[in-house]
């Protein structure tokens, strides 16, 4: 019995390493499906669904934002942000003035950076940020 007690911290450390390795992986680079101008449905939606849906779905819409399939575009493009109604969540052609962008890059005036993880802001991998930024820059096409 005494020997087993020593296993507890060992298992804890192994568990932590597995968790940490998963966190670092972060997901593969996004796959571009459109030729030319980026499109929400083809290039951006799947990424946001996998990264954000835990907290921004129809049952649980944090800050009123639903990013479920077929809903995200309508919810964000040219729509006022709940946390700062003077800004659009997505202002086509202008990522810097888009509240979504400020949340993803850590410059928002309210709340935390997105997406949230167990220990606060868990910034998206660079390729994913670039994809979202370019989509807005290119006019935020559906």
Q: Is 91 in the site for ligand HEC (CB under 6 A)?
A: no
Relative orientation angle of helices 45-52 and 126-137, to the nearest 10 degrees: 130
List helix spans (H) across the chain: 2-25, 45-52, 72-76, 99-105, 126-137
Task: Among 38, 44, 48, 131, indicate the residue that binds ligand HEC (CB under 6 A).
Answer: 48
Residues in 60-89 at the binding interface with ligand HEC, rule: CB under 6 A: 62-65, 81-83, 89
> Would you say 9 or 118 has its CB closer to ligand HEC?
118
Contact 57, 66 (CB under 8 A): yes
Q: Is 123 in the site for ligand HEC (CB under 6 A)?
A: no
**Residue 142 to residue 139: CA distance in whole angstroms:** 9
Stretch that binds ligand HEC, among 3-11, 21-29, 30-38, 96-104 (CB under 6 A): 96-104
Q: Is 115 in the site for ligand HEC (CB under 6 A)?
A: yes
């Amino acid at each position: 019995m005494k020997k087993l007690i020593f296993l507890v911290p060992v298992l804890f450390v192994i568990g932590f390493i597995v968790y940490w390795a998963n966190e670092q992986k972060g997901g593969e680079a996004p796959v571009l499906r459109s030729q030319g101008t980026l499109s929400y449905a083809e290039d951006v939606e799947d990424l946001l669904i996998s990264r954000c849906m835990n907290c921004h779905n129809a049952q649980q819409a944090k800050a009123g934002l639903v990013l479920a399939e077929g809903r995200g575009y309508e919810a964000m493009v040219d729509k006022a942000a709940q946390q700062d109604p003077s800004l659009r969540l997505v202002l086509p052609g202008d990522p810097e003035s888009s509240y979504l962008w400020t949340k993803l890059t850590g410059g928002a005036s309210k709340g935390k950076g997105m997406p949230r993880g167990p220990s606060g802001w868990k910034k998206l991998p660079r390729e994913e940020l670039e994809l979202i930024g370019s989509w807005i820059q290119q006019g935020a096409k559906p």
